[in-house]
């Protein structure tokens, strides 16, 4: 998808989403699988788009969109999240408001139905930015959020990925690697480094404000207690009205090491780079320099959108106010 870097006289509200960088290989994906992903992305975009068209805030739009993504078992967040090595779920999420730089995040939660809403509750509480485990869940309960038993997050496909990863002695693997191990056991080839499970949304609202939200189940067979880039402000999630809103997906440790989300904004603020130039520099230069794979979605204060990735594909989509949503998987 091409992007424009021309300054808009009056930028229309826009939302962009991702459901993970890397995809099922184009050579192996079934038509019904591809249709299912497009349908899910279209539905999520319409939900976020409706918020923006009704004059809602960017923060509300990204929260609604990521909540919808968490509710869809096709993606590694919320219902359908991957398993730890202990056969449990530890979910992470973050939100950031570009207007005030207020942010909230949770890590290692296993009873909050929608972790992105817990992250927003942390932000609204205002005393802290990142909360983990039981403390984060206590705050979520106090905020009246829906709580569930851990079994809610279970899906047969994710459990099979865990068993396959353990059987292959692969150690902790990205969502796409777990899927690859499962496919190998089932004699259905799926390329390595293809499906990195995180979901996210970025938006610009009618008032010119930006927001970002990201959520993930982490790594298949990960060591309990591992935290990736998603809930770390500046690594996997960042928003600043002066520059852009960014949500990342990929190998979390690499995104942490280069402070990927913030780096996009810093290149714009201090280097005078356009959104496209800054985002591409991070995804195609900074990350590969340390072996990092993945992608990101970003929108700037003028309504320009950039969706770069260095994998075969990335589940993604864009919806502007009054315009039919567009969804993409491959280049």
**Ordered DSSP codes for 59-127:** HHHHHHHHHHHHT-TTSSSSTTPPPBTTS---EEEEEEETTT--EEEEEEESSBS-HHHHHHHHHHH-S
Ligand-binding annotation for 100, yes or no, is: no
Residue with tokens 């990204």: 62
Ligand-binding annotation for 249, yes or no, is: yes
Ligand-binding annotation for 252, yes or no, is: yes
Whether the CB-CB separation of 216 and 82 falls below 8 Å is answered with no
Ligand-binding annotation for 142, yes or no, is: no
Ligand-binding annotation for 228, yes or no, is: yes
Whether the CB-CB separation of 198 and 311 falls below 8 Å is answered with no
Burial class (CB in 10 A: 0-12, 13-18, 19+), 94: buried
Q: Which entry of 198, 214, 243, 293 is annotated as an active-site residue?
A: 198
Q: Which residues contact 19 (CB under 8 A, 6 or more apart)?
A: 37, 40, 41, 69, 74, 75, 199, 315, 316
CA-wise closest residue to 83 among 182, 150, 193, 158: 158
Q: Which residues contact 266 (CB under 8 A, 6 or more apart)?
A: none
198 is catalytic: yes
Cα 131 to Cα 62, 109, 213, 231: the distances in Å are 20, 9, 16, 9
Ligand-binding annotation for 79, yes or no, is: no
CA-wise closest residue to 327 among 311, 307, 312: 307
Ligand-binding annotation for 236, yes or no, is: no
Q: Could you tell me which residues are annotated as the binding site for substrate?
A: 226-229, 249-252
The residues that are catalytic are 198
Q: Could you tell me which residues are annotated as the binding site?
A: 226-229, 249-252
């Amino acid at each position: 998808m091409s992007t424009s870097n021309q300054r808009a006289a009056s930028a229309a509200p826009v939302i962009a989403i991702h459901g993970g960088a890397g995809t099922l290989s184009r050579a192996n994906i079934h038509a019904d699988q591809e249709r299912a992903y497009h349908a899910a992305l279209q539905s999520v975009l319409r939900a976020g788009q409706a918020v923006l068209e009704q004059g809602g805030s960017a923060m509300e739009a990204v929260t609604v969109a990521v909540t919808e993504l968490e509710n869809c078992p096709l993606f590694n967040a919320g219902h359908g999240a991957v398993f730890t090595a202990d056969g449990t779920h530890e979910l992470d999420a973050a939100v950031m408001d570009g207007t005030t730089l207020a942010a909230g995040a949770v890590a290692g939660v296993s009873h909050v139905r929608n972790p992105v809403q817990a992250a927003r509750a942390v932000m609204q509480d205002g005393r802290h930015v990142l909360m983990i485990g039981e403390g984060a869940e206590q705050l979520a309960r106090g905020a009246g959020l829906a709580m569930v038993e851990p079994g809610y997050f279970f899906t047969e496909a994710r459990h099979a990925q865990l068993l396959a990863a353990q059987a292959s002695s692969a150690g902790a693997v990205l969502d796409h690697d777990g899927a690859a191990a499962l496919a190998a056991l089932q004699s259905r080839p799926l390329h390595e480094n293809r499906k990195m499970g995180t979901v996210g949304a970025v938006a610009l609202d009618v008032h010119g404000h930006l927001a970002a939200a990201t959520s993930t189940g982490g790594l298949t067979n990960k060591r309990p207690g591992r935290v990736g880039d998603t809930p770390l402000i500046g690594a996997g999630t960042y928003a600043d009205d002066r520059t852009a809103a960014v949500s990342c997906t990929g190998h979390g440790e690499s995104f942490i090491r280069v402070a990927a989300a913030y780096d996009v904004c810093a290149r714009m603020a201090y280097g005078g780079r356009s959104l496209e130039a800054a985002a591409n520099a991070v995804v195609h230069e900074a990350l590969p320099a340390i072996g990092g794979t993945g992608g990101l979605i970003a929108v700037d204060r003028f309504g320009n959108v950039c969706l770069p990735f260095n994998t075969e594909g990335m589940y993604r989509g864009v919806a502007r106010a009054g315009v039919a949503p567009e969804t993409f998987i491959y280049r």
